[in-house]
Every structure is written in C-alpha cells, then in structure tokens.
A and B are shown apart, each in its own frame.
Chain A
Amino acid sequence: DQQVKQNSPSLSVQEGRISILNCDYTNSMFDYFLWYKKYPAEGPTFLISISSIKDKNEDGRFTVFLNKSAKHLSLHIVPSQPGDSAVYFCAPQRVGSQGNLIFGKGTKLSVKP
C-alpha cells in the first residue's frame, strides 16, 4: 500500500530546460509536503516544502505546485543545471501529527550539459 508514489524512476533533461518531477499521494489527511534532494554518497537534504493552504511555493529556481483535489504535487526546476542531477524524494506530513515520515521511491534526475 503505497501512500506516496513517484511514478518516474528517472528523468533526463537538457541544461537550461525545465525539469518537472511528479508525486502522487493517497491520504487526504496529508497537509504539508516536503521535497528532498539526494546526491550519491550523501544523506538526503531538504529542498522545498508547501502547505496545503497554498497551491504554489517558489524558491529561486525551484517551484512546487500542489493540486489537492488530484492529490498531486510537482516540483519544477527552471532552468535546470548539471548540479541539479540527483535523486528527488517527496514526503508528505500531517500537521500536528507525530507519526513517521513516508518517502516516495524517488526520481533520479540527470541534467545533461
């Protein structure tokens, strides 16, 4: 029973173009969503988050969009850079809960020069 799905295991994009990474979730109780980025041989690091009271959050080249009715969020990277090549995980939370943090299986992004 996968509560968080990242259906694209990998994505290849040309430098300068847009990267779009998708994440679907099943539990409508989730109301806060985080994206993590992971380089090889390193631990995941927090990238950007969004609350369910918003449908968009932007931080520099990174924008996360949330469609609550579709239980879908996406991470946009514009313009993509070779240094963005990493595995990206989405992780939903329930505000006020003390439960565990479930991650999607990740999408490996490769940005080619």
Chain B
Amino acid sequence: DARVTQTPRDKVTEMGQEVTMRCQPILGHNTVFWYRQTMMQGLELLAYFRNRAPLDDSGMPKDRFSAEMPDATLATLKIQPSEPRDSAVYFCASGLVPWPGELFFGEGSRLTVL
C-alpha cells in the first residue's frame, strides 16, 4: 500500500526556532509538492520538485523557508527562523507527470509556533 509519509505529525515550537519537516514520496513518482493549508488560503502551493530538481518555489517566503530534495526518497521543508504566522498544516504530495493524474497526499505536519 504505497503512501506518502510525513514527519513530524505535530510540532510545537517557539518563535525563532528552526523547524524541519520531512516527506517520503511514493516510489516512482517524479514530482513532489509542498502545500500549506490555512483557513484563509485553502491549499497554498509553496514549492515543487521534478526528478528532484526544484521547479518553482515562488510560493515560499524566501528569507525563511527552504525546500530541498536530497534524494529520491526524501524531501524537506525548513523554516528558519519560525514565526507565529507560519502556524499551519503543511502537506507533502507526490505524483507522476505529465498530467492527467492523481496527486497523493501525506497526512500533513501540523506546526504551531508560539
């Protein structure tokens, strides 16, 4: 049963601390997305990778967010320093492009920055 795995599921941290979220995409998928869910913005695209190469990270605050894919089995999203406005649920998703196709989501990482 292939699935996207995200860690941690829940993270509470204090403002200014570094936060790293990890994602293991489904084996064989060539595209990985990071989304953030907020009440106001729905599912907001932060960044995505194809074949491990970053394609678009225009949705991320560049000064504090960074996304990488060190290998085909791991994608990371890092926030340094974290701020209370970063509190949200962060989702990783993987899929096989070109479209059409389904995107498979992880269960999300809930971040609370105090």
Contacts and interface: CB of A to CB of B under 8 A. Distances in A.
Q: Decide whether A and B are members of one complex.
A: yes
Interface of A: 6, 32, 34, 36, 41-46, 49, 51, 89, 91, 93-106
Nearest to B47: A100
Contact of A103 (B31, B43, B107, B110): B43
B42 A100 contact: no
A98 B97 contact: yes
Given A89-B43, A102-B45, A105-B41, A43 B108 contact: yes
Interface in B76-108: 91, 93, 95, 97-108
Contacts of B29: none
Given A42-B107, A43-B4, A89-B43, A96 B33 contact: no
B50 interface: yes
Interface of B: 4, 31, 33, 35, 41-43, 45, 48, 50, 55-56, 91, 93, 95, 97-108, 110
A100 B107 CA distance: 20
Contacts of A106: 42-43
B99 A93 contact: yes
A100 B91 contact: no
Contacts of B93: 43, 101
Given A43-B91, A100-B56, 5 more contacts: A36-B105, A43-B4, A89-B42, A93-B101, A101-B103
B106 A43 contact: yes
Contacts of B56: 100
Contacts of B103: 34, 36, 46, 91, 101
B43 A100 contact: no
A71 B33 CA distance: 26
